[in-house]
A and B are shown apart, each in its own frame.
Chain A
Amino acid sequence: MEQLRLSEWLGWDPLREENATKDARLLPSDKPGVSLPAMLRRRLDNAGRATCDILAGLDPEARCPLIHASRHGDANFTLSMLKALANQEPLSPTRFSMSVHNATLGVHAIANHHYRPLQALGASGNEFNALLWEARGYLAEGHGAVVIVFSEGTLPGDYIDCTPHPGHACAVGLRLSLTQGRALVAEDATPGAAPTPLDIIDWLGGCSPRLAAAPGWRLEEA
């Protein structure tokens, strides 16, 4: 089977210094959402805005299938709606309309006139490999490249200590193909590993030689 290849990647980590990775492709940490008009930007949190900036950067001509994964989605908005329901208050129509997992992709698609396939995933900690499997499927169908983005928003205080989380909002995106860039080489699985966007930025930026996942991954030597 042909190997997935990494053509390009971008990351967003508001707490990381730009020189903290050997191969810095980090977006500016402040005010994400430059790829969106203000009237659409207001609908997303910073992780969603950064996701859109990464999608626009990796697919500037809106030609690629796009896949977005988030383990928790916009947990703050979801929790605020649950609290409103518990208090028998009416739900915000805006929050409700944005509470679906593919909302971020939808905003990006509207802003960028993107008409190719869009897919949103949650995979209980296995988001990165789920993104790769789905990307592999689109490439097998004949698409030249696929862009995947993995993001996490801030976690509400009520959920801290209840679920794994990278600790702060972050996002990373990869443009994958079967023909261009360094191959992703599968390695032994690390049982229980649940890589976050920060782990993937560390790996792609050269701070760690492999990504602990099930299976794990390393990049082919340049």
Chain B
Amino acid sequence: MNQSVPLSLDLKHMIIDTLELEDVTPEDIDDHAPLFGEGLGLDSIDALELGLALQKRYGVTLDAEAEDTRRHFASLAALQALVEERRVN
């Protein structure tokens, strides 16, 4: 990854590219809006895809059964906090 790009923007690009979101730009993703359901409108398959992308890009491994996984995926800001805490790449 490009270290000069802020993590928030890098995550937005990762989400858009990984999930093939048409006509969505980084500016369209509110840091604090829900990623799933009413917010960006992602679904459960997207959650799995994002989990894989986080592992590949930042070395962050998530347990799909863990209670706090839902919290980490609540918004872009929550995802950013997760990556900052656990990243190995």
Q: Contacts A92-B49, A93-B49 hold; do A42 and B20 have CB atoms under 8 A apart? A: yes
Chain A residue at minimum C-beta to C-beta distance from B42: A39
Interface status of A97 (Cβ within 8 A of chain B): yes
Residue pair B52, A92 in contact (C-beta under 8 Å): yes
Q: Does B81 contact A (CB under 8 A)?
A: no
Cβ-based interface call for A38 (8 A): yes
| Interface presence of A90 (CB below 8 A) | yes
Could you say which residues of chain B place their CB within 8 Å of the CB of A97?
45
Interfacial chain B residues near A165, Cβ < 8 Å? none
Report how far A90 CA is from B22 CA in the complex, Å: 24
A88 within 8 A of B: no
Output the nearest chain B residue to A39 by Cβ-Cβ distance: B41
Please give me the residue from chain B that is nearest to A91 by CB atom: B52
- Does A41 lie at the interface of the complex (its beta carbon under 8 Å from any beta carbon of B)? yes
Q: How many residues of A contact B (CB 8 A)?
A: 9
Distance A42 CA – B17 CA, assembled complex (angstroms): 11
Bound CA–CA A94/B41 (angstroms): 15
Q: Which of B36-64 contact A (CB under 8 A)?
A: 41, 43, 45-46, 48-49, 52, 55
List A145-169 residues whose CB lies under 8 Å from chain B.
none
CB–CB A94/B45 < 8 A: yes
> Per-residue 0/1 for A66-109: is the Cβ within 8 Å of any B Cβ (1 yes, 0 no)?
00000000000000000000000010111001000000000000
Bound complex: CA of A38 vs CA of B16, how far in Å?
A: 13
Judge whether B49 and A94 touch: CB under 8 Å.
Answer: yes
The count of chain B contact residues (Cβ–Cβ below 8 Å) is 13
B15 → A minimal CB distance (Å):
12
CA A89 – CA B58 in complex, angstroms?
Answer: 16
For the complex, what is the distance from the CA of A94 to the CA of B52, rounded to whole Å? Answer: 11
In the assembled complex, which residues on chain A have CB atoms less than 8 Å from the CB atom of B49?
Answer: 92-94
- Answer yes or no: B21 CB below 8 A from chain A CBs: yes
Q: Contact check, B19 vs A93: say whether CB atoms are below 8 A apart.
A: no
What residues of chain B lie closer than 8 Å to A94, measured between beta carbons? Answer: 19, 45-46, 48-49
Is B22 a contact of A41 with CB atoms below 8 Å?
Answer: yes
The answer to whether the Cβ of B65 comes within 8 Å of any Cβ in the partner chain is no
- Expressed in whole angstroms, the minimum distance between the Cβ of A44 and any Cβ of chain B is 10
Contact with A along B73-89 (1 / 0, CB 8 A): 00000000000000000
Assess the B52–A93 pair: CB atoms within 8 A. Answer: yes
For residue A49, give the distance in angstroms from its CB to the closest CB of chain B.
11
Q: How far is the CA of A39 from the CA of B44 in the complex (A)?
A: 13
Interface residues of A (CB under 8 A from B): 38-39, 41-42, 90, 92-94, 97
16 contacts between A and B (CB under 8 A): A38-B21, A38-B22, A38-B23, A39-B41, A42-B20, A42-B22, A90-B52, A90-B55, A92-B49, A92-B52, A93-B45, A93-B49, A93-B52, A94-B19, A94-B48, A94-B49
